[in-house]
Amino acid sequence: MPKPKKDLETLQLFKQGLTEGKNARAIEVEKEDLEAVRDLHLLTIKPVLYVANVDEGSVTTGNAFVEALRDKVAEEGAEVIVLCAALEAQIAEFEDAEEKAMFLGEYGLEESGLNKLIAASYALLNLITYFTAGPQEVRAWTIRRGWKAPQAAGVIHTDFERGFIKAEVIKLPDYEQFKTEAACRENGKIAIEGKEYIVKDGDIMHFRFNV
């Protein structure tokens, strides 16, 4: 099938949709056809996450305004996060995890709106987090979902990717259960992974490299 003709059809679809006032992301085309408009850098083709700031009484159930927003953006397949900024300000003041959990429970919440917003943003952008832990600090590193271990190591330092040998990996649930790296090792919960290992969200990793 001649591609120029297909590209022209795609461009005409976008022209029609944009003329009708639609966002570019709401125009239905095949994924491979998006190449025809890539060079146009359309602002409204970028993924969007909508955040509805509501009163305390609507934070778990939503309200008419939230439903109107959801109806409006349904054609885009966009997610709507509901939170109460006033509550979030109070939640941020808690330093004790148990007290924070009790406060959230009073409003029927399992987590803060900020946490939901961060998780949804990462999912929208196809990002995940892995951790490195040592005697002095614990660090979180953001990478693309689907990256292999050497690529993940490269966000720490390019030498880590260039000289990658292997990675020691602890799964987050195992670390939460056994509490320390030593206990995970004693219980056989540290895996040795090579260059083809695809990093999972929440992995705790130690890289071995040589340059």
Tens of pLDDT, residue by residue over 54-103, are: 999 999 999 999 999 999 998 888 899 999 999 999 999 999 999 999 99
- For the record, the structure tokens of 70 come out as 């959801």
Amino acid at the residue 140: A
If phi > 0 it is left, if psi is from -120 to 50 it is alpha, else beta; for residue 61 that is: alpha
What is the enclosing helix (H) or strand (E) of 191? strand 190-193
**How many other CB atoms are found less than 10 A from the CB of residue 77?**
9
Pairing mode, strands 80-83 and 50-53: parallel
pLDDT digit string, tens, across residues 100-148: 999 999 999 999 999 999 999 999 999 999 999 887 889 999 999 999 9
Counting residues of the chain whose pLDDT is more than 90, the rounded percentage is: 85
| Domains of the chain (ranges, CATH numbers) | 50-124 (3.40.50.300), 127-209 (3.10.20.30)
What is the model's pLDDT at position 134? 80
DSSP states along 72-92: HHGGGT--EEEE-HHHHHHHT
Q: How far is CA 149 from CA 132, 164, 178, in A?
A: 13, 8, 24
Do 83 and 54 form a contact (C-beta atoms < 8 A)? yes
